[in-house]
Amino acid sequence: MKGFLKSSIGKKLFMSITGLFLITFLLVHLTANLFMFGGREAYNSAVEFMEKNPVIQIMQPILALGFLLHIVYSIMLSIQNMKARGSNKYAKVDQSNSSTWASRNMLVLGIFVGSFLVLHLTDFFLPMKTSEVKDVFDLVTKRFGLWYISIPYIIGIIALGIHLHHAFWSAFQTIGLSNDLWRKRLTVLGDIFAVVIAVGYSIIALYFLIF
Protein backbone atom coordinates (compact mmCIF):
# COMPACT_ATOMS: atom_id res chain seq x y z
CA MET A 1 0.00 0.00 0.00
CA LYS A 2 2.84 2.37 0.87
CA GLY A 3 4.55 1.65 -2.44
CA PHE A 4 1.30 2.21 -4.35
CA LEU A 5 0.81 5.67 -2.81
CA LYS A 6 4.34 6.60 -3.88
CA SER A 7 3.63 5.64 -7.48
CA SER A 8 2.30 8.10 -10.06
CA ILE A 9 -1.04 6.28 -10.27
CA GLY A 10 -1.32 6.13 -6.49
CA LYS A 11 -0.67 9.85 -6.14
CA LYS A 12 -3.27 10.67 -8.81
CA LEU A 13 -5.85 8.41 -7.16
CA PHE A 14 -5.24 9.92 -3.74
CA MET A 15 -5.50 13.44 -5.15
CA SER A 16 -8.76 12.55 -6.89
CA ILE A 17 -10.33 11.14 -3.70
CA THR A 18 -9.30 14.12 -1.57
CA GLY A 19 -10.36 16.44 -4.41
CA LEU A 20 -13.88 14.98 -4.55
CA PHE A 21 -14.15 15.39 -0.80
CA LEU A 22 -13.15 19.05 -1.10
CA ILE A 23 -15.68 19.54 -3.92
CA THR A 24 -18.39 18.36 -1.54
CA PHE A 25 -17.16 20.73 1.15
CA LEU A 26 -17.25 23.69 -1.25
CA LEU A 27 -20.95 23.05 -1.94
CA VAL A 28 -21.81 22.74 1.75
CA HIS A 29 -19.82 25.86 2.63
CA LEU A 30 -21.39 27.86 -0.21
CA THR A 31 -24.88 26.81 0.89
CA ALA A 32 -24.17 28.12 4.39
CA ASN A 33 -22.66 31.36 3.07
CA LEU A 34 -25.68 32.08 0.88
CA PHE A 35 -27.74 32.42 4.08
CA MET A 36 -26.05 35.82 4.39
CA PHE A 37 -28.56 37.14 1.87
CA GLY A 38 -31.27 36.13 4.33
CA GLY A 39 -29.95 38.61 6.86
CA ARG A 40 -28.26 38.54 10.24
CA GLU A 41 -30.53 36.03 11.98
CA ALA A 42 -30.55 33.57 9.09
CA TYR A 43 -26.78 33.51 8.69
CA ASN A 44 -25.98 33.38 12.40
CA SER A 45 -28.41 30.47 12.76
CA ALA A 46 -26.71 28.65 9.87
CA VAL A 47 -23.28 29.17 11.47
CA GLU A 48 -24.57 28.01 14.86
CA PHE A 49 -26.02 24.87 13.28
CA MET A 50 -22.67 24.05 11.64
CA GLU A 51 -20.76 24.68 14.87
CA LYS A 52 -23.05 22.42 16.89
CA ASN A 53 -23.41 19.70 14.25
CA PRO A 54 -21.16 16.81 15.41
CA VAL A 55 -20.71 15.48 11.87
CA ILE A 56 -19.41 18.80 10.59
CA GLN A 57 -17.14 19.25 13.62
CA ILE A 58 -15.63 15.81 13.03
CA MET A 59 -15.16 16.53 9.34
CA GLN A 60 -13.32 19.84 9.88
CA PRO A 61 -9.94 18.35 10.95
CA ILE A 62 -10.32 15.62 8.32
CA LEU A 63 -10.91 18.33 5.72
CA ALA A 64 -7.83 20.25 6.87
CA LEU A 65 -5.69 17.12 6.65
CA GLY A 66 -7.19 16.17 3.29
CA PHE A 67 -6.50 19.61 1.85
CA LEU A 68 -2.91 19.59 3.14
CA LEU A 69 -2.25 16.14 1.68
CA HIS A 70 -3.90 17.19 -1.59
CA ILE A 71 -1.40 20.05 -1.91
CA VAL A 72 1.60 17.92 -0.89
CA TYR A 73 0.74 15.15 -3.36
CA SER A 74 0.06 17.64 -6.16
CA ILE A 75 3.52 19.17 -5.66
CA MET A 76 5.16 15.73 -5.54
CA LEU A 77 3.33 14.63 -8.69
CA SER A 78 4.19 17.84 -10.55
CA ILE A 79 7.90 17.51 -9.64
CA GLN A 80 7.80 13.87 -10.75
CA ASN A 81 6.26 14.87 -14.09
CA MET A 82 8.79 17.69 -14.63
CA LYS A 83 11.67 15.26 -13.97
CA ALA A 84 10.17 12.79 -16.43
CA ARG A 85 9.89 15.48 -19.13
CA GLY A 86 13.39 16.72 -18.38
CA SER A 87 14.89 13.26 -18.77
CA ASN A 88 13.48 13.00 -22.29
CA LYS A 89 14.94 16.03 -24.09
CA TYR A 90 13.69 14.94 -27.50
CA ALA A 91 10.05 14.41 -26.49
CA LYS A 92 9.00 18.04 -26.29
CA VAL A 93 5.48 18.27 -27.62
CA ASP A 94 3.29 21.34 -27.89
CA GLN A 95 0.21 20.43 -25.83
CA SER A 96 -1.60 23.75 -26.26
CA ASN A 97 -4.01 22.27 -28.80
CA SER A 98 -4.66 18.98 -26.98
CA SER A 99 -5.08 20.24 -23.41
CA THR A 100 -6.51 23.24 -21.61
CA TRP A 101 -4.47 25.98 -19.94
CA ALA A 102 -5.88 24.89 -16.56
CA SER A 103 -4.73 21.28 -17.01
CA ARG A 104 -1.19 22.44 -17.89
CA ASN A 105 -1.00 24.81 -14.92
CA MET A 106 -2.70 22.89 -12.11
CA LEU A 107 0.32 23.31 -9.82
CA VAL A 108 0.39 27.09 -10.28
CA LEU A 109 -3.36 27.32 -9.70
CA GLY A 110 -3.09 25.00 -6.70
CA ILE A 111 -0.39 27.13 -5.07
CA PHE A 112 -2.42 30.28 -5.80
CA VAL A 113 -5.56 28.75 -4.27
CA GLY A 114 -3.55 27.52 -1.28
CA SER A 115 -2.22 31.03 -0.67
CA PHE A 116 -5.75 32.40 -0.93
CA LEU A 117 -6.94 29.83 1.61
CA VAL A 118 -4.30 30.95 4.12
CA LEU A 119 -5.51 34.56 3.77
CA HIS A 120 -9.13 33.44 4.03
CA LEU A 121 -8.48 31.50 7.24
CA THR A 122 -6.60 34.48 8.68
CA ASP A 123 -9.36 36.94 7.80
CA PHE A 124 -12.40 34.88 8.82
CA PHE A 125 -11.90 31.43 10.36
CA LEU A 126 -9.24 32.23 12.96
CA PRO A 127 -10.99 35.34 14.34
CA MET A 128 -14.14 33.25 14.80
CA LYS A 129 -12.24 30.52 16.64
CA THR A 130 -9.78 32.57 18.70
CA SER A 131 -12.01 35.42 19.86
CA GLU A 132 -15.44 35.70 21.39
CA VAL A 133 -17.39 36.73 18.30
CA LYS A 134 -21.07 37.00 19.17
CA ASP A 135 -22.26 38.22 15.80
CA VAL A 136 -20.61 36.31 12.93
CA PHE A 137 -22.76 38.13 10.35
CA ASP A 138 -21.38 41.46 11.55
CA LEU A 139 -17.79 40.19 11.41
CA VAL A 140 -18.07 38.77 7.87
CA THR A 141 -19.99 41.69 6.35
CA LYS A 142 -17.58 44.26 7.80
CA ARG A 143 -14.56 42.39 6.46
CA PHE A 144 -16.15 41.99 3.03
CA GLY A 145 -16.78 45.73 3.13
CA LEU A 146 -13.02 46.28 2.97
CA TRP A 147 -11.74 46.26 -0.63
CA TYR A 148 -8.32 44.87 0.32
CA ILE A 149 -10.07 41.78 1.67
CA SER A 150 -12.88 41.41 -0.87
CA ILE A 151 -10.79 41.90 -4.04
CA PRO A 152 -8.11 39.26 -3.21
CA TYR A 153 -10.96 36.98 -2.08
CA ILE A 154 -12.74 37.31 -5.44
CA ILE A 155 -9.48 36.79 -7.37
CA GLY A 156 -8.77 33.68 -5.30
CA ILE A 157 -12.26 32.32 -5.94
CA ILE A 158 -11.89 32.87 -9.69
CA ALA A 159 -8.58 30.95 -9.58
CA LEU A 160 -10.38 28.19 -7.68
CA GLY A 161 -13.06 28.08 -10.39
CA ILE A 162 -10.41 27.71 -13.11
CA HIS A 163 -8.78 24.95 -11.06
CA LEU A 164 -12.12 23.15 -10.74
CA HIS A 165 -12.72 23.42 -14.50
CA HIS A 166 -10.13 20.68 -15.00
CA ALA A 167 -10.13 19.03 -11.58
CA PHE A 168 -13.82 18.04 -11.57
CA TRP A 169 -13.89 15.64 -14.53
CA SER A 170 -10.26 14.63 -13.98
CA ALA A 171 -11.08 13.32 -10.49
CA PHE A 172 -13.87 11.09 -11.81
CA GLN A 173 -11.69 9.90 -14.68
CA THR A 174 -8.86 8.88 -12.35
CA ILE A 175 -11.11 6.72 -10.16
CA GLY A 176 -12.52 5.03 -13.27
CA LEU A 177 -15.94 6.65 -13.42
CA SER A 178 -15.47 8.19 -16.85
CA ASN A 179 -15.54 6.91 -20.42
CA ASP A 180 -15.82 8.70 -23.77
CA LEU A 181 -19.54 9.36 -23.22
CA TRP A 182 -19.31 10.40 -19.58
CA ARG A 183 -16.14 12.43 -20.18
CA LYS A 184 -18.20 14.91 -22.21
CA ARG A 185 -20.97 14.99 -19.62
CA LEU A 186 -18.57 15.37 -16.72
CA THR A 187 -16.75 18.15 -18.57
CA VAL A 188 -20.03 20.05 -18.90
CA LEU A 189 -20.96 19.36 -15.27
CA GLY A 190 -17.48 20.45 -14.22
CA ASP A 191 -17.83 23.72 -16.11
CA ILE A 192 -21.23 24.35 -14.51
CA PHE A 193 -19.89 23.49 -11.06
CA ALA A 194 -16.86 25.75 -11.52
CA VAL A 195 -19.08 28.68 -12.57
CA VAL A 196 -21.50 28.09 -9.68
CA ILE A 197 -18.65 28.04 -7.16
CA ALA A 198 -16.83 31.05 -8.63
CA VAL A 199 -19.97 33.17 -9.07
CA GLY A 200 -21.63 31.99 -5.85
CA TYR A 201 -18.74 32.88 -3.56
CA SER A 202 -17.72 36.02 -5.48
CA ILE A 203 -21.19 37.56 -5.55
CA ILE A 204 -21.36 37.43 -1.75
CA ALA A 205 -18.13 39.38 -1.34
CA LEU A 206 -19.05 41.78 -4.14
CA TYR A 207 -22.50 42.45 -2.69
CA PHE A 208 -21.24 43.42 0.77
CA LEU A 209 -18.37 45.39 -0.72
CA ILE A 210 -20.79 47.55 -2.72
CA PHE A 211 -23.74 47.71 -0.32
CA 93 distance to own-chain centroid: 30
CB 140 within 8 A of CB 153: no
Mean pLDDT of 41-45: 95
CB 154 within 8 A of CB 205: yes
Mean pLDDT of 175-185: 74
Q: Lowest-confidence range among 51-65, 98-112, 138-152?
A: 98-112
Q: Which amino acid is at 205?
A: A
4-20 per-position pLDDT tens digit: 656 667 777 877 887 88
Q: What is the CA radius of gyration of the chain?
A: 19
